[in-house]
Amino acid sequence: MSSGRVFRFAPTPENPTRHLFVFLHGCGATAQSMIPIAFKFQARFPSAALVVPSGFNPDARGGAPQDWYPTNGLNPDNHRERVASVLPDVEDLVRREQTNFGMTACRTVLIGFSQGGTVALEAVKSPGIAGAVVAFSSRFAQTPCRGSRISSRIHLVHGAFDSVVSRVYAERAARVLAGLHVPVTLDIVEDLGHALSHRAISLGSLRLLQGIYEGRRATLH
């Protein structure tokens, strides 16, 4: 795995750590680009510890580890294979941070944009990594097949005018996940392309909050 930088932020001082949020940036971006988004989530979740790692692909962007997997020559036939190749490193990273902050998988949330969201969605096909995913402008590398068991809540937020990753992928994923009885939400943000807006981030953090509340309420009955 590339030794890209990992930024870590503890909860606000008066709050004990109750959740771990791991933020996965988009293709050709940097970990630093996700830090403002991370703080917007922490504003709604003051007891969340934030981890913002750099991508693993050392060949990306002139040697800087700013992609999670190579995009040169990427096509539908090799997409799944390329994502799968980095998932063990992603899992190692998440487990290390869980140990570091003393957080369980069910209190861990993966939050990703574009390529980072794809990595997050594929990661939770394996059980016991995270309790929830918030995926912005993302798609599965391979839509979950019939009989798949995904134990995480999935929150999809997508721009209506995304020309890089069509909203069709998010709509299809929401239908498939609902058919598998996976708790899923889908928000299509009007007038938004392949980008993160204040509205999109607010929706993503709101759906996450609602999902955590619903899960907690379900355990009380």
How many angstroms separate the CA atoms of 158 and 166, rounded?
8
Catalytic residue among 54, 152, 158, 162: 162
CA distances from 74 to 27, 135, 139, 152, 163 (A): 12, 20, 14, 28, 17
In sequence order, the 6+-apart residues with CB closer than 8 A to the CB of 171 are 186, 188
Q: Are 31 and 6 in contact (CB under 8 A)?
A: yes
E strands, 5-55, in order: 6-9, 19-24, 48-53
Catalytic option among 2, 126, 166, 194: 194
Interatomic CA distance for residues 111 and 132, integer angstroms: 9
Report the distance separating Cα 52 and Cα 32, nearest Å: 8
Residue 114 annotated as catalytic: yes
Helix-then-strand count for the chain, H and E: 5, 7
Catalytic residue among 114, 137, 152, 205: 114
Say whether 89 is catalytic. Answer: no
Residue 134 has φ and ψ, to the nearest 5°, of -115, 115
194 labelled catalytic: yes
Residues in the chain: 221
The b/e string for 63-87 (b: 16+ C-beta within 10 A; e otherwise) is ebbbbbbeeeeeeeeebeebbeebb
Residues labelled catalytic = 114, 162, 194
